[in-house]
Structure 1
Amino acid sequence: MTITYQQEHQIFHLQSKDMSYILQLKDGYPLHVYWGKKLRDEGNLDRLHHYPDIATIDRFPQEYPQYGTGDFRNPAYQVRLEDGSRITELVYKSHTITAGKPELTGLPAVYVESDKESQTLEIEMIDKYSGLTVLLSYTIFEEHNAISRSVKFVNASTKSVALERALSASVDFTDNDYEMMYLSGGWSREAQVKKRALDSGLTTIESRRGASSHQFNPFMALARPHADEDQGEVFGFSLVYSGNFVAEAEVDFFFSTRVSIGINPFDFEWLLEPGQSFQTPEAILVYSSEGFGGMSRTYHRLYRTRLCRGIHRDQERPILINNWEATYFNFNAEKIEDIARAGAELGIELFVLDDGWFGKRNDDTTSLGDWVVDQNKLPNGLNDLAKRVNNLGLQFGLWFEPEMVSPDSDLYRKHPDWCIHVEGRRRTEARTQLILDLSRQEVCDYLYESLSEIFSTVPISYVKWDMNRNMTEIGSATSSANRQKETAHRYMLGLYGLLEKIHQQFPHILFESCASGGGRFDPGMLHYMPQTWTSDNTDAIERLKIQYGTSMVYPISTMGAHVSDVPNHNMHRIVSLVTRGDVAMSGNFGYEMDLTKFTDDEKVIAKGQVARYKEIRSLVQQGDMYRLKSPFEGNETSWMFVSENKREALVFYFQVLAEAHGPLKKLRLKGLHPDLDYGIGEEKLVYGGDRLMQSGLPIPPLQGDFASVCFHLKAK
């Protein structure tokens, strides 16, 4: 890992373990030269690219393009000066190369635990007319083929500047021979893998909802033709942010491609007074010469170990039972204790009390914001219930939806202006609730005080932090007219500040984020909460696609996955308990059903699943994932997890629909050591790693629809 600067040719060469990223200064512009497999740091890197004359700036492959000086493609940033002009021309002023990676104040970010893990290049750019200074930051990592990029704007003038567009990263490729891959969907069908060939014009994915959204994940990748899971070049772009975002790929008439990612400029503006600064979120760019699988494993390792934090980062996650689909709002302490007792008999480790324990919450029309226990349901309070659960040998967890407020609540009646709203306009309700204005410090303070009171007095070891609607009528009662477009981003800064304070004060609590499932499954939230509820859709067959797609970017240790009742509450499909368990054990395992209704046979199966997951969970949560068969391409799905030393592996295989007299099947495995011999489960047969990867593992015939099988491999 090095960052070098060749003074003669003004070239910066950023090298990681297997990757090079090269940029060059020309006439004061930082230009993109190369991004790909690692190159030697030889003296003629300037010959990698031939730049046209300065008069044709729209042909320049720029690192942070601007508007108004001859480049007609989408810029990375735009400003409006006090004189009404929108033209800036940033040119190089200076640079620094330092060990380590600086923190981003007030924003989630990848971190390092030692300065030896990374180096950072910061390029200072200045627009001499306006006095605007822009700092371009690049961090390269020792063990990861990834680059962190972010931008800081500083108003060094005596006049105000309005930022209208402030993206985190832009990369210009010299051709358009790529396929774009991204994750799309909706509520209960998140993270569907989509691919399209790039062509002339602009391809955009975005969120305008105030959250990263179910519809699009803040991620995209460009892949060379014929790249697949195992081979071919792939370039990944992931934004460490939880609010409105945009990711674009623009092909111009020279057939070059510009990729950019950052805060969505739609309905965004940020006023910089003299001396003030603005920091963009960071984008994590990943290069893989080993297809999508190589890209994913880089994101997994980096996000699992250097984005997620705290004591739970490297710990095995507990097996839980959540009462939501078992009781919804209709429960009392005795019913909860009964479910917890049934869970304890199976070996489950954590009970989570979901929605309905506070205020007068008997349905979803009331009480959000009133974080006091409902004495009608729990007359002896949360401490009594937690003690009952603890006495059964289980930890106790609790559901909250802190960012929301019900119009029918004591909080709203006392502070009707605390919600996001525009005075005189209708306040659109969704799920009979409004959104608290977290851009206001007094609102964040109220939430911290309310939550910390419970966290400090009740023995809670887990919190599910939910968020069930998106923003409408975006405005803040305390912001001036010329700062209203800052509200959505200031909300995110307020949320991040609140989460950071809670994270520091209550490090023992394992937090899981949720937004009607995966509506805010993004890197930003993982910095504060190391796992996310992947989807409200718990149907095992739909989860194959959802979990497969989510794994394109996110580590398995971040994915909540539960066994639920059948017929499934979303899909009304009946899937065997075995298959439901195999799908859920491919994530952070738990149950979401009434365990007291299990038959004796189901108890035996479930008890076996719990015992099995305790044996394999470190491998699932911390191992390297290899995707073998895609649910988006056929009737079969398969993935596997391999330990770091390659001496242990776990293979899951799923068949959606039964096949009449189908062919004998073999599954070619990945990631094993070719020279090791592996025993499989209780079988006495031993297979060579090379044989399993080249010839394949025989799959026994599976009976019926929605069937699965799991193989546990251990080196002899």
Structure 2
Amino acid sequence: MGIIVQEQAGLFHLQSSGMSYIIQMIDGYPVHIYWGSKLNHREPMSDMLIHTPDTAGLDRLPQEYPQYGSGDFRNPAYQVELVDGTRITELTYTGYRVTKGKPSLAGLPAVYTEDEAEADTLELELTDAYSSLKVTLCYSIFADRNVIVRSAHFSNAGGQELRLRRALSASIDFAGGRDLEMMYLSGAWAREGNITRTPLHQGETRIDSKRGMSSHQFNPFAALVTPETTEAQGEAFGFSLVYSGGFEADAEVDSFGSVRFSIGINAFDFAWLLSPGESFQTPETVMVYSGQGLGEMSRTYHRLYRTRLCRGRHRDEERPVLVNNWEATYFDFNADKLVSIAEEGAKLGIELFVLDDGWFGKRDSDNSSLGDWYEDRRKLPGGLADVAERINGLGLKFGLWVEPEMISPDSELYRRHPDWCLHVPGRRRSEARWQLVLDYTRQEVRDYIFDSLSAIFSAVPVSYVKWDMNRCLTEIGSAELPPERQAETAHRYVLGLYELLERITQAFPDILFESCSSGGGRFDPGMLYYMPQTWTSDNTDAAERLKIQFGTSLVYPVSAIGAHVSAVPNHQVGRITPLDFRGNVAMSGNFGYELDLTKFTDEDKETVRRQIVTYKEIRGLVQKGDLYRLKSPFEGNQSAWMFVSGNKKEALVYYFQVTAVPNAPRSYLQLAGLEPEFGYEVLPECSGSRSIYGGDRLMKLGLPLSYQQKDYESGWFRVRATDTPRE
């Protein structure tokens, strides 16, 4: 395993325990040979050499990082403008380097290793002799994971300026002769995470974001799959961009059936000036191969992101059960009201109280005070410290909502610094939610936010922070950048955000940070590097959350998925669902409540108390176990999933039915991820009595499920390995 080099043949074989990725140099160009299940490399590789007709040129060559202008008419991975206005460069191979471990990326989030034996890295050095542009393609392959991480580093080694107009993280050509489909996550605010699957035909299939954020509309993830690929079988090639800004992912099919897939920073409205001696680093793309269907692809991403992307003390700690006051009070609260909710929470077993929007400046609605990060003494006469200490006295930790990337025109900060927002002189400043976006390309802006938040976090016992971002970027320009660098603003904004997040999370390592962007508008690996969980969607309706959480799990671990029980009728869709149904959906993520606990009946309180006791028992398995998706809410009326421990000795199964079915046929649920030779006890939550079944039977035949004749039915049961002889 590792990286095998055949210098004479120009072959580089990257090999993990279950996967191979092979590159060959042809006429100085890095060419893609193979990506798939592991090849043992016992025999010579000369029979894999690609030979193309002399007349075919680059347009028929399956390349690793293609260029434009020299005979390849498909989408390029990069484009550079020279001082004479031409856009032609031709990168050719000049050398390589193999190292142990995986390098970090300066100023960018990245997956990492804790021991250099976990991965090996190949760097391919390419040079354009005319312009002296140098590009290093970086490939890190993990030894025990079917994962390759790719990025590109540009440097100007010449004496004249260069301007990047396109700089993607990865490009790969799949040879013709095979049918492929593209899968991705689409949606909008309050309906994120829809799984879309479409066959590829000649032409382009593209997803992107031009919003300055990864967006609700499309997630920076896509997979190419074969038509027969399901949860448990078939090939899947996943691409996940570790980036929080505008992106593009494109699958282009040429006239010969070859597929070029590329992903990276959106080239729309992007440019980057490289003066002599300067460099540019792309974000990295995490590429996962699965020969065992979508489920194995997802679990590979989950394990990697949970343990080698997320960082800090909270990475491995069980997450607290919380109550958030937002849907309970919105902006209308005082200190006593907050404490009364916390008091009820303490009686029910809640561990964390989160004070949401409205505690600062003169914030009585969405239309003011963002940027004025000091407590509102009208609502909180004793300040945040008083509220936090009273809540701590109940045995609960204290959490706080902030939206530090925004500024309200009606704020003291804006009146002092009207130029601190993203804007273009002479143009109108588009407001959304009565707010503008702070210019995070500017160091003084980031310093102000760091100092303001640090003052609060140092004076108040804050254990959790919900970091929100509630609008897209418009009028993307910076008063501090010269004209020739204005097209760098969007990317510099993201780099500025990352710099601030690094500073503040390192300064306050004991705080559990959760990212949010009106829900899932910035649910991406870049944010998970700094904050190990994300508020998945502002839509808290349990029936809608089945799809949202199911879809999000295609690439993101359950430990990153925030899920709350809210009041009924639901505030987003008006639906009324049973408390048990809402609880079972929310317990399939980082569990909490977002409602007024003081309004619960005694019966409701008993249900909540039972849910919290149960979740505290199972959350380790939910947050760290392997997820198996059993029934898709996108394909029918029923949904199901299960969590399996690493040793396969314990599992937890949840199942749901949205609407009642008259005279319904008997429903069986086939489990997954168990050890076929183990005997398993299915606890009474499902079977009604103590029963022992073989793992093979549970997975092949399954268990019968019974639903009552009413809408929004759900249930759960545990499965435990036992030494009792199998039936």
> TM-score, normalized by length of structure 2?
0.98
Q: 1:376 aligns to what? A: 378
1:551 aligns with 2:557: no
Provide the C-alpha distance between the structure 2 equivalents of 1:172 and 1:51, rounded to a whole number of angstroms. Answer: 15
Which has the larger displacement, 40-49 or 677-686? 40-49
Within the candidate set 393, 396, 402, 1:394 is matched to 396
The structural deviation recorded for 1:703 is: 3.1
Q: The residue matched to 1:278 in structure 2 has which SS?
A: strand
Q: 1:436 aligns to what? A: 438
Q: What code does the residue aligned with 1:131 have?
A: S
1:31 aligns with 2:37: no
Provide the C-alpha distance between the structure 2 equivalents of 1:495 and 1:617, rounded to a whole number of angstroms. Answer: 31
Give the conservation status (yes or no) of the 8 Å contact 2:420–2:439: yes
Provide the C-alpha distance between the structure 1 equivalents of 2:58 and 2:189, rounded to a whole number of angstroms. Answer: 43
Q: What code does the residue aligned with 1:130 have?
A: S
1:64 aligns with 2:65: yes
Q: 1:561 aligns to what? A: 563
The structural deviation recorded for 1:503 is: 1.4
Q: The residue matched to 1:250 in structure 2 has which SS?
A: strand
Alignment of 1:144-223 (within 5 A): 144-175=145-176, 177-223=179-225
Give the conservation status (yes or no) of the 8 Å contact 1:147–1:284: yes
Which has the larger displacement, 660-669 or 582-591? 660-669
The structural deviation recorded for 1:675 is: 1.4
Q: The residue matched to 1:387 in structure 2 has which SS?
A: helix
> TM-score, normalized by length of structure 1?
0.99
Q: 2:136 aligns to what? A: 135
Q: The residue matched to 1:375 in structure 2 has which SS?
A: coil
Q: 1:679 aligns to what? A: 681
The structural deviation recorded for 1:49 is: 4.7
1:113 aligns with 2:153: no
Q: 2:716 aligns to what? A: 710
Provide the C-alpha distance between the structure 2 equivalents of 1:407 and 1:54, rounded to a whole number of angstroms. Answer: 63
Give the conservation status (yes or no) of the 8 Å contact 1:664–1:701: no
Provide the C-alpha distance between the structure 2 equivalents of 1:612 and 1:12, rounded to a whole number of angstroms. Answer: 51
Q: 1:4 aligns to what? A: 4
Q: 1:516 aligns to what? A: 518
Q: 1:98 aligns to what? A: 99
Q: 1:343 aligns to what? A: 345
Give the conservation status (yes or no) of the 8 Å contact 1:11–1:46: no
Alignment of 1:78-477 (within 5 A): 78-175=79-176, 177-477=179-479
Give the conservation status (yes or no) of the 8 Å contact 2:565–2:586: yes
Q: 2:48 aligns to what? A: 48
Provide the C-alpha distance between the structure 2 equivalents of 1:47 and 1:389, rounded to a whole number of angstroms. Answer: 70
Q: What code does the residue aligned with 1:710 have?
A: W
Provide the C-alpha distance between the structure 1 equivalents of 2:708 and 2:403, rounded to a whole number of angstroms. Answer: 42
Q: What code does the residue aligned with 1:25 have?
A: M
Give the conservation status (yes or no) of the 8 Å contact 1:405–1:419: yes
Alignment of 1:534-549 (within 5 A): 534-549=536-551
Q: 1:699 aligns to what? A: 705
Q: The residue matched to 1:138 in structure 2 has which SS?
A: strand
Give the conservation status (yes or no) of the 8 Å contact 1:210–1:244: yes
Give the conservation status (yes or no) of the 8 Å contact 1:655–1:702: no
User: Kindly tell me: are residues 653 and 490 of structure 1, through their superposed partners in 2, closer, same or farther at Cα, counting changes over 3 Å?
Assistant: same
Q: The residue matched to 1:477 in structure 2 has which SS?
A: coil
Q: What code does the residue aligned with 1:42 have?
A: R
Give the conservation status (yes or no) of the 8 Å contact 1:51–1:60: no
Q: The residue matched to 1:582 in structure 2 has which SS?
A: helix
Q: What code does the residue aligned with 1:165 have?
A: R
Q: The residue matched to 1:149 in structure 2 has which SS?
A: strand
Per-residue CA distance 1:220-262 (angstroms, 9 max, x = gap): 0010121100000000011000000000000011110000000
The structural deviation recorded for 1:48 is: 2.4
Q: 2:725 aligns to what? A: none
Which has the larger displacement, 41-50 or 79-88? 41-50
Per-residue CA distance 1:541-591 (angstroms, 9 max, x = gap): 000000000000000000000000000000100000000000000000000
The structural deviation recorded for 1:712 is: 1.1
Give the conservation status (yes or no) of the 8 Å contact 2:31–2:61: yes
Q: 1:612 aligns to what? A: 614
Provide the C-alpha distance between the structure 2 equivalents of 1:222 and 1:599, rounded to a whole number of angstroms. Answer: 50
Within the candidate set 480, 503, 512, 2:505 is matched to 503
The structural deviation recorded for 1:6 is: 0.6
Provide the C-alpha distance between the structure 1 equivalents of 2:29 and 2:53, rounded to a whole number of angstroms. Answer: 13
Provide the C-alpha distance between the structure 2 equivalents of 1:584 and 1:512, rounded to a whole number of angstroms. Answer: 16
Provide the C-alpha distance between the structure 2 equivalents of 1:299 and 1:28, rounded to a whole number of angstroms. Answer: 33
Provide the C-alpha distance between the structure 2 equivalents of 1:171 and 1:23, rounded to a whole number of angstroms. Answer: 11
Q: The residue matched to 2:315 in structure 1 has which SS?
A: coil
Q: Where does structure 1 lack aligned partners over 5 or more consecutive residues?
A: none
Q: What code does the residue aligned with 1:209 have?
A: R
Q: 1:657 aligns to what? A: 659
Provide the C-alpha distance between the structure 2 equivalents of 1:612 and 1:310, rounded to a whole number of angstroms. Answer: 27
Per-residue CA distance 1:101-130 (angstroms, 9 max, x = gap): 111000000000010100000011000000
Q: What code does the residue aligned with 1:10 have?
A: G
Q: What is the aligned length?
A: 716
Provide the C-alpha distance between the structure 2 equivalents of 1:118 and 1:140, rounded to a whole number of angstroms. Answer: 5
Provide the C-alpha distance between the structure 2 equivalents of 1:638 and 1:369, rounded to a whole number of angstroms. Answer: 43
Q: The residue matched to 2:314 in structure 1 has which SS?
A: coil
The structural deviation recorded for 1:681 is: 2.4
Q: What code does the residue aligned with 2:16 have?
A: S
Q: 1:632 aligns to what? A: 634
Provide the C-alpha distance between the structure 1 equivalents of 2:466 and 2:135, rounded to a whole number of angstroms. Answer: 39
Give the conservation status (yes or no) of the 8 Å contact 2:24–2:49: no
Q: The residue matched to 2:313 in structure 1 has which SS?
A: coil
Q: Where does structure 2 lack aligned partners over 5 or more consecutive residues?
A: 723-727
Provide the C-alpha distance between the structure 2 equivalents of 1:50 and 1:364, rounded to a whole number of angstroms. Answer: 60
Q: The residue matched to 2:185 in structure 1 has which SS?
A: strand
Provide the C-alpha distance between the structure 1 equivalents of 2:405 and 2:426, rounded to a whole number of angstroms. Answer: 23
Q: The residue matched to 1:148 in structure 2 has which SS?
A: strand
The structural deviation recorded for 1:54 is: 5.1
Provide the C-alpha distance between the structure 2 equivalents of 1:482 and 1:712, rounded to a whole number of angstroms. Answer: 61
Give the conservation status (yes or no) of the 8 Å contact 2:683–2:691: no
Q: The residue matched to 1:605 in structure 2 has which SS?
A: helix
Q: What code does the residue aligned with 1:66 have?
A: Q
The structural deviation recorded for 1:50 is: 2.8
Which has the larger displacement, 674-683 or 328-337? 674-683
The structural deviation recorded for 1:676 is: 1.4
Provide the C-alpha distance between the structure 2 equivalents of 1:50 and 1:492, rounded to a whole number of angstroms. Answer: 40
Q: What code does the residue aligned with 1:634 have?
A: G
Q: What code does the residue aligned with 1:705 have?
A: D
Q: The residue matched to 1:428 in structure 2 has which SS?
A: coil
The structural deviation recorded for 1:713 is: 1.1
Q: What code does the residue aligned with 1:659 have?
A: V
Provide the C-alpha distance between the structure 2 equivalents of 1:268 and 1:437, rounded to a whole number of angstroms. Answer: 17
Q: What code does the residue aligned with 1:607 have?
A: R
Q: The residue matched to 2:337 in structure 1 has which SS?
A: helix
Provide the C-alpha distance between the structure 2 equivalents of 1:173 and 1:516, rounded to a whole number of angstroms. Answer: 37
Per-residue CA distance 1:466-522 (angstroms, 9 max, x = gap): 000001111000100010000000000000000001111110000000000000000
Residue identity (%): 64
Structure 1: which 4+ aligned runs deviate by more than 4 Å? none
Provide the C-alpha distance between the structure 2 equivalents of 1:236 and 1:473, rounded to a whole number of angstroms. Answer: 33
CA RMSD for the aligned pairs?
A: 0.8
Provide the C-alpha distance between the structure 2 equivalents of 1:49 and 1:390, rounded to a whole number of angstroms. Answer: 67
